[in-house]
Structure 1
């Protein structure tokens, strides 16, 4: 009863207070309330951030050589076919294809009803425009190597494209999957240079902002042709230092980070807000040895270097155990892989080979890599290991854009300044993991055979495997090729990654595929 009386008094006092309020103030408040009811309230954007360990170099999907730039571009661009997580291909901007019996003609049926972000319709003409741009030697685009067997592209009708080859090429569909389709209107408007920073595709996100060396922001494509992201914006934020990326994950400033620093996995495993994700990898970690330089021209030196590197220690020290030693130039996750005899850790054997090659006291050289924490650690490990056989290695970290320019700007082997390049490479198939890295036609500036490896035998095997459609015969060719490359040792064969990424437990729809590419087509968050 006492509570009821107290409540009654409170109500009376409240009414009295309202009655005594200033009339004009009451009217003003009422007007504001009515205006608020009539004016729709705009909800805040739902934003997500992916923190990565390097900078994006380019957004032109036809001229990209690094996986991160490819990941960024893939938010806005799509190919005719693309890879699923199980490494099989699925139709994207095409609905189906046929191959002629002689393997010389590929007919693609283009998906109807799709438009580019600028409103340009997707059709066979648009796809042909892209293929012709890549094939044009004057453009000097990196993807041109994927279309060397293409003689012509012909528009059959509005949604049918015919691609003719000069010879059967077994990995052709894989090469098609590497070609993203750009709006032809945007290419004509911005040109080859302008399209790098003005991307226009058909993908789940529309370009919003990117300053080279800084963040890239994309906004969800509201007119996407299939189910897409459930957020407003996605940001790729380059954060070179491992600890800083982890801190962003812990505070929620980042929703997803890749790579997750292996040495810090244990430190965050107890955090209920963070999930560590492990995955299989097609990534090979290695070091190019520039064979055009005298110090690396002798196979005994290159083999000695491989014997002087403790691959098990590398996996533990640099990758915190999240790596396995390479047993071929391709990881064991790639079809046609054949394990080769191990370059076991053997300093005496390494020193003997060095002496036989005329370098009993070693020599001085340098190693290049990006300036992020993990690459720095890898370079330092190699430098320390090679010091044991008298090779003094200067560690030279570089910003990604500078490194790429330094690698690909020289027009001849003689102009090349790089001696060793610590790097990784990922591919979905054997040819993709081999041809660009070892065929003599693929030395810089057009492709990444930075070992300047020029072996007529390897060239012949690479070419034979590419046109051999019999699976068993192709396997025999690739088995021999792996043996030749392994013995020639144009690389320091380091290891293959166990992929590590991390996400907030509110994050869904973002993942890393086996090649190390970040996919965010269906990104969503409950934060």
Structure 2
């Protein structure tokens, strides 16, 4: 079989895999956006009429930032439970972590101290000692100390909510988190970890955010000992902003924390208005009723580009549009059929046509800008696709049902895939569904083909290789049930590489492993990786200091200001 990497790479790969992950969990839910259907068109029309007929509000004060954003995916703000992008965006402003994994427009490339001002790792890579800053205050005025760190991480493990796998894969037991003294914490991992991976995990917002134990205790009840109900609508953090108000379907109000350890933010109040419709966001931005519009469509961005008083920010994202083939559906159990499908797709028509250029070509699951990315691009080659179908014994084709979402751009992408596959005699029946219902089918392995999206949980290739390439068994007994399992793709040798790469501390060997994993999976696996959509945000030109990273939910507003 031909692979996309040089045979010389294989010479440095292990002949046998590393020790299996000591995972005792079901990773059944990922940071997949569960976006319900948009509100009825009549609501949009009424909203637009109100905006057009109502005079613009008085100029927004210089120290107030108003953001238009859809709140629909938000469940609540319980740190141990938040797993959707928008909720994470709010936590980024209200909580701190031990470390921060930060970077520029296209990559997370460096580690910065957070609540921990320094740290060291043992020679075997298993013990991490963190030294905390002194004098850091929670919003309550209580001090951030080792007791708070230990309490917070153990609390997340005890609550055992869906995102906990990110920490639990390396720190499965509460006893592995220990207080050394008032300002020192020791964390032991179940396998050696490199600094980049450890920082990516401990910088993850939510499950590793540090909460105030005294505030939790004050709002705890016998039925809710960790005060999850109270924290669903309040905060107990030490971040630059305090969650002051959340009115569902209306607004989220954040107020600056004057005693923040990095200094008081220049913006004193942030109002995140619930404006689910992109058209309404655009109108509000043009009228000056909001400072930032977060959910605009590519054609709206094109219209705003160059307009007086408006600024456009674009960042290649670390999430994907992708299609997947279930190997449990007989035709897709043949690797040549899967290869034929990949060569039949007109990627250019999707990226440049349907996405209007608002996407970056990326045909692998480790995105551009992330360590270990394999620079590989497919192109449409119908002759090769037809030959592979013939060799597989499917020259006459077959029928397949493809599930997808109802919101743009999924129906249009699905139509393009349907048109492309018809050229190699595969008849695609597209079924658009509410995403929550689609996920139930997908997570139960009951699909034949899907067209969905996936975003990185944290800034390390293990966050991508584990879901896309780690599977020991496709059966119900599987402990790990991510994308590979859902599509019944269980490459044992590649799974070994995934486990070894996570703990490999030699960065050159680690990079080789991740590129090899991608090469094999993209040659024989079940995925058709399409592109990384651009994150496109429009602001008034008076907004300064806004930097949107590839995982936009890590956007910090601490340094944002306005010129007037």
Q: Deviations over 1:335-392 (max 9, x none)?
A: 222224x4321334445545636583432423233x5444554445444544554332
- Among 170, 182, 206, which residue is 1:149 paired with? 170
| Contact in 2 for aligned 1:134/1:144 (Cα 8 Å) | no
Find the aligned partners of 1:358 and 1:523 in 2 and give their Cα distance: 57
- Partner SS for 1:175: helix
Confirm or deny: 8 A CA contact 1:286 1:422 kept in the other structure: yes
Q: Aligned to 1:253, what secondary structure does the other structure show?
A: coil
Partner SS, residue 338 of structure 2 = helix
Of 375, 379, 386, the match for 1:344: 379
Give the deviation of 1:158 after TM superposition.
Answer: 0.8
Residue equivalent to 2:97: 79
Which sits farther off after the overlay, 460-469 or 76-85? 76-85
Which one of the candidate residues 407, 418, 424 is aligned to 2:439?
A: 407
Q: Which residue of 2 aligns with 1:21?
A: none
> Among 160, 163, 182, which residue is 2:211 paired with?
182
Structure 2 residues without counterparts, runs of 5 or longer? 1-59
The 1-side partners of 2:330 and 2:216 are apart by 43
| Shift in alpha-carbon separation, 1:63–1:448, aligned structure 2, 3 A | farther
Q: Which of 236, 239, 244 pairs up with 1:208?
A: 244
Q: TM-score, normalised by structure 1?
A: 0.80
**CA distances 1:126-183 after superposition (whole Å, capped 9, x unpaired):** 11112213334x6244133333222501100111000112321222222111122223
User: Is the counterpart of residue 521 in structure 1 residue 531 in structure 2?
Assistant: no
Cα gap change, 1:75/1:483 in structure 2, threshold over 3 Å: closer, same or farther? same
Task: Report deviation, 1:304.
Answer: 3.0
Whole-angstrom distance in 2 between the partners of 1:223 and 1:310: 54
Show the counterpart of 2:191: 167
Aligned partner of 2:11 in structure 1 is none
1:130 aligns with 152
- Answer whether contact 1:54 1:238 (CA < 8 A) is retained: yes
- Tell me how far apart the structure 1 counterparts of residues 260 and 448 of structure 2 sit (CA, whole Å): 44
Match in the other structure for 1:321: 357
Rg larger in structure: 1
Say if 1:56 and 1:213, in contact at 8 Å, map to a contact too.
no
Contact 2:285 2:539 in 1 (8 A): yes
Residue number in structure 2 paired with 1:28:
none
What is the deviation of 1:95? 0.8
Q: 2:469 aligns with which of 412, 428, 438?
A: 438
| 3-state SS in 2 of match to 1:287 | strand
Structure 1 pair 514–394 and aligned structure 2 pair: CA distance change class (3 A): same
Q: Look up the SS of the partner of 1:62 in the other structure.
A: coil
Distance of 1:507 and 1:166 partners within structure 2: 45
Structure 1 unpaired stretches of 5+: 1-42
The separation in 2 between residues aligned to 1:290 and 1:237, in whole angstroms, is 40
Per-residue CA distance 1:110-130 (angstroms, 9 max, x = gap): 222223223443111111112
Q: Distance in 1 between matches of 2:211 and 2:411?
A: 36
Partner of 1:264: 300
8 Å Cα contact 1:245/1:257 also seen in 2: yes
Matched residue pairs, number?
A: 476
Q: CA deviation at 1:96?
A: 0.8
Residue 232 of structure 1: how far off its partner (Å): 3.7
Give the one of 447, 452, 468 matched to 1:422.
452
The separation in 2 between residues aligned to 1:131 and 1:466, in whole angstroms, is 21
| Correspondence for 1:52 | 69
Deviations 1:224-281, CA, capped at 9 Å, x for gaps: 2223433343233454443333222212222112354323333222311101123344
Distance 1:350 1:429, change over 3 A: same
203 and 481 in structure 1: CA distance in 2 versus 1, 3 angstrom threshold: same
TM-score, with structure 2 as normaliser = 0.75
Relative to structure 1, is the Cα distance of residues 304 and 98 closer, same or farther in structure 2, using a 3 angstrom cutoff? same
Residue 472 of structure 1 and its aligned partner are, at CA, apart by 2.2
Determine whether 1:99 maps to 2:121. yes
Specify the alignment match of 1:139 in structure 2: 160
Once residues 525 and 446 of structure 1 are traced to their aligned partners in structure 2, the CA distance between those partners, rounded to angstroms, is 46
Match of 1:501 among 521, 532, 537: 537
Partner of 1:218, secondary structure, is strand
Aligned in 2, Cα 1:265/1:418: closer, same or farther, shift over 3 Å? Answer: same
Partner of 2:398: helix, strand, or coil? Answer: coil
- 2-side partners of 1:444 and 1:376: how far apart? 33
Alignment partners' CA distance in 2, 1:446 and 1:362: 28
Question: 2:479 & 2:274 partners in 1: Cα distance?
Answer: 27
User: Would the aligned equivalents of 1:209 and 1:216 in 2 still touch at CA under 8 Å?
Assistant: yes
Matching residue of 2:51? none
Measured in 2, the distance between the counterparts of 1:198 and 1:488 equals: 47
